[in-house]
Chains A and B, each alone.
Chain A
Amino acid sequence: VTSEEVRNLLFVRESVELDPYRIPATLSKLFKDFQQEHPDEHAVRLCCHNLLIVCSTPLEARGLGADLDELLQQYPGRAVAVVLDAEHSGPVSGFLGVYTHRHQMAGQLIGLHFPASGAPLPSMVAPLWQDGLPLVTFWRGSPPYAESWFLALVENCTRLVVNSGVTGGQSLQEVIEPLLPLWSLMRDPYLASQAFTDVSWARLCVWRDWIAGLFDRPDRRKLLPYIDNVELEGWSLPGDTVPHLSVLYLAAWLAHPLGWKLTRPLQPVPGGYEARFNDFPVRFYTRSSDDPEFLGRPVRCTFRGHYQGEPFRLSVERDSNDSSTLVLGGSGPGCGSVGHRLHLDRLNNLALMGQELETDRRDQLFESALETLLAMTGNLVEVV
């Protein structure tokens, strides 16, 4: 793609060309000009965060412009969006867009069209960050974990967000592969102050919320230790034979707060896969859809067990006719009154980025879930 096309991908409002090697000086002039244009105002710079978004390929930048535009209006800050392009042989091209709120300079978006090697990138963006504010790095596409310049970027940021579940897979190893280097980074003692997350995990917060909601009532909470069967179902692309990462995350999440110990790793069983926790089965099923939008979304989570000799069942599942409606159902002691239909707001990219910008610490739950997930798929020993 051309630099002009990259510009169009990143900016939905007016932008100017920018010398990528003189960005700090350009920004400094920008503030001076702004002050001169508003001599009667006490202009201050409004900035809550630094944001770096790196797209591994121009393809990953699709739809990014609109999200960034809205994000910067809602979260004033400085954002640098970088598009790495293997086909781009020329020099780095730069663009600048400015956001204002009343008399306040409330955000700058710097777009860079970069050759495939990002080696100079850390040194170019380091002087741009507003001191003392969080720096969140979103990586769209496959991160170059092995590159030293990637590590330099990670060392500088406060939070790294990757997306490991952009595709499904034919084998468990294929699904798990992208998580191994992420797990290594998280265990690196030199990166102890950095926080990490995976989009496939972050998107689950709505489902985690509804599943937790099944057990808010104290009388239903009592059932938790008596669960002896769990079924999870998620959407996958046709041909994918293994559960999507997000559904595996869901099971791994449940294990930690409920104190479930893995007793048998994931194995294929008729119709799906099964792992065993505390010697009871957690089964995974896939539902196929051609729509890539559906990929990885959970469809159903069902808990079964026996309490004082009586069977019980509690479930959260999508309405088969309307995928944006969840049905909460149940039967057995204390579960009979469940029967609600609720609208499911999908966490869009914008909301997801906002959620991550507001999170300021390591997510221990994510780390526990990832550890369980790797153990579940037999990868933990290998990594350690």
Chain B
Amino acid sequence: MSIVSLDSNPLREGLSSARTASPCTIVIFGASGDLTERMLIPSLFSLSEQRLVPPELSILGISRRQYSDGEFRSKVKPDAGNATNWESFSRGVFYMSGNHHEAETFARLKVKLEEIDHNRGTQGNRLFYLAVAPDDFPLILSYLSSEGLLDPPDYADPDDNWVRIILEKPFGVDLASATKLNKDILKLVPESKVYRIDHYLGKETVQNILAFRFANCIFEPVWNRRYIDHIQITAAEALGVEERAGYYDHFGALKDMVQNHLLQLLALVAMEPPASVLDDSVRDEKVKVFKALRIYKPEQVAANVIRAQYGPGFIDGKPVPGYLQEKNVAPDSRTETYAAARFWVDNWRWEGVPFYLRTGKRLARKVTEIAIVFKPAPLMLFAANAGDKLEPNLLVLRIGPDEGISLRFGTKIPGMTRRLRWVNMDFDYGTSFARPSPPAYARLLHDCMIGDPTLYNRGDAVELAWHSTQPILDAWAADTEPVPTYEAGREGPRLAETWMEDEGRYWRKL
């Protein structure tokens, strides 16, 4: 008998699939929803085709609708993929009709999970994916707890087996609700088992921010208040509210984008180097950024945050209605479809450097990017005329579309003059690597199955992010002035332009 360490699979050494998940059952609450069909099952199937999950992986969908296993499998079958592989994969896809507001559902769930463990060898590893309204999270967790489902079953090996919970966003609708939700959840289950998902963090280009900053030593020395003038984080969409109008009208741009996605990007840009990327260090450093975010007093909000609603206009040459004319939007709605905010990170690195965040619907084009605008050179050696101002260096991290990185710098135009021209050095993520980026949900589901929470939000981070946006929501709730509008298909409200111009800065063109 040979003696080798069996803590991990020794045969995985050197393979691209080194981080393969152990067999488990993924229980999806709210399984009849769009997310299961559009994101979760295709992501899990693609992980299976890449051999990143074991063939024993089992999925159990739960919702009130009546489906047989076969009907559910047909409903969620992805368009892409190999037929033989789907046949094998789908044998592990099950459905159970049940109301998650009723205890009886969970008693049946327990029996079903034991049956799957027995038949499929999933060994009591369970991942509960809660794709339901956040108000229902504590209820589901309390029923799971009552049935003893928040711990591996008796027959599982306590050293090897696990139970984890993914909570789909939104995590609360304001600071009070998020705090209460955290409190209610953590009464039932420890933070180490809770994975709060923000699909933005699963995007390859978002993860690349850390690699870019901390794997290259040429950027970090200038990544501070001494060299950076300001930072712009933009998430613009050309689309309107579409079929999400009912949901969106209760949320608006600040809650839908700024409080979560854009503040997450800000944290990745502003954080200090983590001690490791293999433990909780990244999340610790992000929390430090959120703690350093300046909290506005109600009277400071108007000067630092702008909101607006899109009016009618043109997108791709076609007329589009204004927000108030959209279906399922209240005709007197004051919900913002555009938000721009100036945030300050009050620490040594970023003192005096504004972070401008903007997001909006029905803007000129779809773009998500982080622009690092450096300070101009201290001496205008190459200015053509006295008083000329040179453009600053600019580093743009393009999250999408056209994922990549570009750096703008000045170079001398050949000839007898001293004239400069600004050129962009461009790195295109898509053309530099043949391998396509995995879908964000695939990455995040896989991380959860292998027990890596780095790309998930921790409870304290979520509350701190709400803490910095709550005063804005409060001030807007108290504001009776009409919400400004902007023409659909344009750069946003004129107010946002003048707001920047007054500071001698300007937004990047969309």
By a beta-carbon cutoff of 8 Å, the part of chain A in contact with chain B is 42, 44, 46, 48, 74-76, 101-102, 104, 106, 205, 208-213, 215-219, 221-222, 224-226, 254, 257-261, 278, 325, 328, 334, 336-338, 340-343, 354, 358, 363-365
Contacts and interface: CB of A to CB of B under 8 A. Distances in A.
A215 B15 CA distance: 14
What 5 A-B pairs have minimum CB-CB distances, sorted nearest first?
A: A337-B121, A74-B434, A212-B11, A257-B10, A259-B2
A312 B463 CA distance: 52
Contact of B55 (A75, A222, A224, A340): A340
B6 A221 contact: yes
B35 interface: no
B1 interface: yes
B6 A75 contact: no
Nearest to A334: B121
Given A224-B6, A226-B1, A216 B20 contact: yes
B85 A342 contact: yes
A233 to B, nearest CB: 19
Nearest to B118: A337
Contacts of B160: 218
A358 B434 CA distance: 9
Given A101-B428, A325-B84, A208 B2 contact: no
A258 B10 contact: yes
A337 B119 contact: yes
B24 to A, nearest CB: 10
A76 B343 CA distance: 40
A215 B9 CA distance: 7
Contacts of B1: 225-226, 278
Interface stretch (B183-191, B291-299, B389-397, B418-426): B418-426
A97 B227 CA distance: 43
B480 interface: no
A208 B121 contact: no
B51 A209 contact: yes
Given A218-B157, A225-B3, A364-B14, 10 more contacts: A42-B424, A42-B426, A48-B432, A209-B15, A209-B51, A212-B12, A212-B20, A218-B160, A334-B121, A341-B87
Given A205-B15, A210-B51, A216-B9, A46 B123 contact: no
Nearest to B11: A212
A255 to B, nearest CB: 9
B151 interface: no
A224 B3 CA distance: 10
Given A213-B51, A365-B13, A76 B88 contact: no
A354 B121 CA distance: 36
B276 interface: no
Contacts of B15: 205, 208-209, 212
A104 B9 contact: no
Nearest to B157: A218
A342 B84 contact: yes
B22 A224 contact: no
Contacts of A342: 55, 84-85, 88
Contacts of A364: 14
Contacts of B385: none
Among B6, B157, B423, max chain A CB count under 10 A is at B6
Contacts of B198: none
A217 B9 CA distance: 8
Given A213-B20, A325-B84, A328-B55, A257 B11 contact: yes
A214 B147 CA distance: 32
B216 interface: no
B22 A218 contact: yes
B16 interface: yes
Nearest to A322: B84
Interface residues of B, number: 43
A214 to B, nearest CB: 8
A75 B434 contact: yes
Among B83, B85, B435, max chain A CB count under 10 A is at B85
B145 interface: no
Among A208, A209, A364, A365, max chain B CB count under 10 A is at A209
15 contacts: A44-B425, A46-B428, A46-B432, A212-B9, A212-B11, A216-B12, A221-B9, A225-B2, A257-B13, A258-B2, A259-B3, A328-B55, A338-B121, A343-B84, A358-B435
A361 B121 CA distance: 37
Contacts of A337: 56, 119-121
B471 interface: no
B4 interface: yes
Among A212, A222, A258, max chain B CB count under 10 A is at A212
A213 B428 contact: no
Contact of A341 (B14, B84, B157): B84
B23 interface: yes
B22 A101 contact: no
A281 to B, nearest CB: 15
A342 B54 CA distance: 11
B84 A260 contact: no
A226 B2 CA distance: 8
A364 B83 CA distance: 36
Contacts of A325: 84
B218 to A, nearest CB: 14
Contacts of B74: none
Nearest to A254: B11
Nearest to A324: B84
Contacts of A48: 432-433
B123 A219 contact: yes
A334 B117 CA distance: 12
Contacts of A101: 428, 431
A211 B9 CA distance: 11
A343 B45 CA distance: 13
A262 to B, nearest CB: 12
A42 B423 contact: yes
Contacts of A76: 431-432
Contacts of B55: 213, 328, 338, 340, 342
Contacts of A226: 1
B166 to A, nearest CB: 21
B417 interface: no
A278 B84 CA distance: 38
Contacts of A217: 22-23, 54, 56, 121, 123
Contact of A258 (B11, B85, B123): B11
Contact of A343 (B56, B85, B423, B424): B85
Nearest to B12: A212
B16 A46 contact: no
Among A216, A257, A340, max chain B CB count under 10 A is at A216
Interface in B1-50: 1-4, 6, 9-17, 20, 22-23
A350 to B, nearest CB: 9
Contacts of A261: 2
Nearest to B3: A259
B429 to A, nearest CB: 12
B425 A259 contact: no
A98 to B, nearest CB: 15
B11 A215 contact: yes
Nearest to B161: A218
A226 B16 CA distance: 26
Contact of A224 (B4, B16, B428, B434): B4
B428 A104 contact: yes
Nearest to A221: B6
Contacts of B83: 343
B2 A278 contact: yes
Contacts of B120: 337
A74 B9 CA distance: 33
Contacts of A44: 425-426
Contacts of B56: 217, 337
